[in-house]
Chain A
Amino acid sequence: MDLKSFMNKYKIFVDTCTFMHESSNTFFDDLLDALLETGNKIIIPVRVSDEINKLVKSPNLKTRTSAFHGKMILERYRQKDCLSEKQDENDPFADNVFLYVFLKHRTRYNLALITQDRKLAEDISEIKKAKSVISSKEILTLKLDRHGKLVKWHFTKDLANDSNEEIPSLNMVNNEVLSNRQPDPSFAGNIKPQKNLKTHAGSVAKNISTDSNKLKADSPDYSSSGNAEGEISIVHLKNQKKVKLIERIGDGGEGKIYLTETGHACKIFKNDKLTKERFDKLTLMTDLRIQIPGLCWPLEMAYDDEQDPIGYIMPLAQGQSMQKAMFIKKRLESNFPNWTRRNLVQLAITWLEKVVELHKHDILIGDVNPHNFLVAGERDIYFVDTDSYQIGQYPCTVGMANFTAPEIQNRNFREFLRTPNNEYFAIATLLFMILLPGKPPYSHQGGGDPRENILNGEFAYAFGERASQGAPAGPWRFIWSHLPYKVKKAFYECFAENKRISAADWLDLMCGYKYDLEHFHLDTEGGSDELFPKRFKALTAHAKQAFGISDVSFNKKPEVDIRDLIITSPSNIKSNRPKDDVAKKKYLSVLALYGDLFRIKPSIRKQGGK
């Protein structure tokens, strides 16, 4: 059953643990869209949001993070008015509230409960079987599987079989954890200890350590590749707390990354890598307590048996690096087979939202590059290697040439603090590579060192009255042509004229782009919503009408190439603007909509058109 018919038929209740489910983002996004479309709401007892508000202050990091995650979702639903919060004076406490409500309303409505708690789900479905009331109404119990997909609860099978239902979704191949380096093959499955989250209203504050024992029993994978001999297996936190390291999940130049029993990641530095300066910086970071979903920010320092600092705890990441997940066409298409361009734009929005938040806190990423962001879905991005971010007087000491603004090329990143404007260059570069999946803005025909191209502002794509200066062949020019004018303008000004806009401005642009795509303002037929369109953008009926040129027969051939259009226009566009009205309209509308009037230089044409 699809979401829409589901919500038309049922009153939908959601419990605390579902809001706190780590992989729930995509589900709640889809649900929200469907709710908005059908004008429905989900129902939660006020108890649930009380519970979440309480758990946000929990002393347990894991609980706190999950609760925060849930709070954000609730907040979003409230803003969109898709949440109906019910309070009944007779509401009993805790989980019984659902039983009570379901018992009360079962004869009047079809009811559905989304919960991660087996016991509660069983109790609820028992109501259905109660013979005393004959009702044609239905009761449905559902849960999110570990990939955030909505599935029905089944109780006939035993626990072991039940897990068969949680078949990994086909969208993502190997889940890779935290680091893009040398993923451990034994980690093919999802490693998140779901057990910690199998809580619902009232029972969340359970001791996590008892839960983690269950985790081991449930996940035979862990035993197959425990920590190698001689590796640290327990770290100490403040307040005499100890945390077990379950397994190594990443290996890098600075140190190793472990999965902890609490479902976090723990980075342990190599001997000489945790310098005084780094320790001070990390302390500053942990004190800041910044909470952005998907940001793998240092939460707490970790110490060895002698109470010497050796690393830190952070949220666990999911997904594959942007480079691996989507910067190669084949991988993009196999990882996200249903994606169209609007998913790419949504991904850009998700990414920018987090960047904007960081910038609000005066934090710069510094080393922006596609290895430092993991992608699990269009609304599910993880920022890793955050300990290199620029914060306070601590610079980000690394960076990649491709993402480095011309004014700081060839400088030593250790020796100065980057400015937001430096960062805006990197942001534009990564956005460009998201929208033209994997293609750096400065690749062009005729080559050249990326560093030199950046320094010289050699941006090849056509814009305004400037022709392509040898933009890469194939789909890249098509994609560029299909971008909205404003987006092209922002890229062009950044890369060719060294005028940049902020992350927040980019966010606005991307939201506008998404809106245009969803409302078919662009040339959808011609491929504007495709990942890799196969021809240049053409004027849509919508656009023709908007510009009052519907009488002009622009597209004699449906596959008309925008370049043909210009070449055959009546006058020399560059020196003499077209004089007659029709040509003028053509000219202006094309200019406004495409921003890529081509004056094909014979030399370039020869070079490019081989």
Chain B
Amino acid sequence: MARDLQLRRADLIENPTARVPICLVLDNSPSMSGEIEMGSLTEQTNPRPIDELNAGLKLFIKELQEHEIARYSAEVAVVTFSSKPEQLVDFDSITETKLPAITVEEVGGTCLGTAVDSALKLLDRRKREYKDAGVDYFQPWLVIITDGRPTDFSHLEVAPRVADLVRSKKLTIFPIGVGKGSDLLALEMFSPSRKPLRLKELRFKEFFEWLSQSVTVVSQSMPGEAIKLPLDKISDWGTLD
């Protein structure tokens, strides 16, 4: 799955296209399975959120791969989190990537802050690699999706750092809450300029479709350009509280 280091380096050097690094920070705590415990009974929602999330992700990668420019520009990393963060996919060219399906963790938790922190580290490392190779890049994107509220205090330390990056235009952030249990206030701490959105129902597909379109728009511009994201289409999948 993880490509040979040499291949990755070769791609960095040979492909002159300015990169759009996108790090997805995705909640895979038990609640994403859609099982709701009610006393001794468990109830299963249909469809399961995790399945919808995976379908959305698949669509996301596919749409990027099908676009003639975004295909060579977008790079995707995935960090999942429940009780602890896990780096599922490291940054790489997406031209041949097949993302592994995300599975639900057995141990519950929402370590939002530590997850975002490891995403920042991944992004930093990738930016350094771009610089070492002399490759242009766009300011990275950070997508955070959670259906719960933080179970530790790590976000209190990480969120202000993220907010600073956003304010100084070094990072673009898309915080998304899923379901009524998600804590939009905690997400808002990360996002000084744009309010977090709540996903309508389980419209992961619509969200990721929108995201891929936005990446495409960026990939066709040049670093340093002002970008117009298709904001009018956000209502397809998201609402403000």
Contact = CB atoms under 8 A, between A and B. Distances in A.
Given A324-B69, A327-B16, A329-B15, A472 B222 contact: no
Contacts of B225: 400-401
Contacts of B222: 369, 400-402, 440, 450
Interface stretch (A106-114, A266-274, A473-481): A473-481
Contact of B133 (A327, A400, A436, A474): A474
A443 B13 contact: no
Contact of A329 (B14, B127, B134): B14
A532 B13 CA distance: 12
Interface in B65-80: 68-69, 72
A204 B77 CA distance: 60
A608 B132 CA distance: 7
A328 B72 contact: yes
A439 interface: yes
Contact of B13 (A324, A369, A449, A474): A474
A607 B221 CA distance: 29
B16 A439 contact: yes
Interface residues of B, number: 23
A369 B130 CA distance: 23
Interface in A97-113: none
B192 interface: no
Nearest to B68: A324
Contact of B134 (A402, A437, A449, A476): A476
Contact of A327 (B17, B134, B136): B17
B224 A449 contact: yes
| B contact patch SS | loop
A323 B69 contact: yes
B220 interface: yes
B134 A444 contact: yes
Contacts of A402: 222-224
B224 A443 contact: no
B134 A443 contact: yes
Given A328-B15, A439-B16, A443-B16, A472 B133 contact: yes
Interface in B8-28: 13-17
Interface in A439-486: 439-440, 443-447, 449-451, 460, 470-476
B131 A371 contact: no
Given A443-B135, A450-B136, A610-B132, A472 B13 contact: yes
A221 to B, nearest CB: 21
Interface in B126-169: 127, 130-137
Contacts of B15: 328-329, 438
| A contact patch SS | loop
Contact of B224 (A331, A450, A460, A475): A450
A62 B134 CA distance: 47
Contacts of A473: 13, 132-134
Contacts of B14: 329, 474-475, 532
Given A328-B17, A438-B16, A451-B224, A445 B72 contact: no
Nearest to B228: A253
Contacts of A471: 134
Contacts of A451: 224
B17 A450 contact: no
A196 B221 CA distance: 38
A444 B133 CA distance: 8
Contact of A460 (B127, B132, B134, B221): B134
Contacts of A476: 16, 134
A445 B137 CA distance: 12
Interface in A518-562: 532
Given A401-B222, A436-B16, A447-B127, 11 more contacts: A180-B220, A327-B16, A328-B16, A331-B68, A401-B224, A401-B225, A446-B134, A447-B134, A472-B13, A473-B13, A473-B133
Interface of A: 180, 323-324, 327-331, 369, 371, 400-402, 436-440, 443-447, 449-451, 460, 470-476, 532, 607-608, 610
Interface of B: 13-17, 68-69, 72, 127, 130-137, 220-225
26 contacts: A323-B220, A327-B16, A327-B17, A328-B17, A329-B15, A369-B222, A401-B225, A402-B222, A402-B224, A437-B16, A438-B15, A440-B16, A443-B16, A443-B135, A443-B136, A445-B134, A447-B130, A447-B137, A449-B224, A471-B134, A472-B13, A472-B134, A473-B13, A475-B14, A532-B14, A607-B132
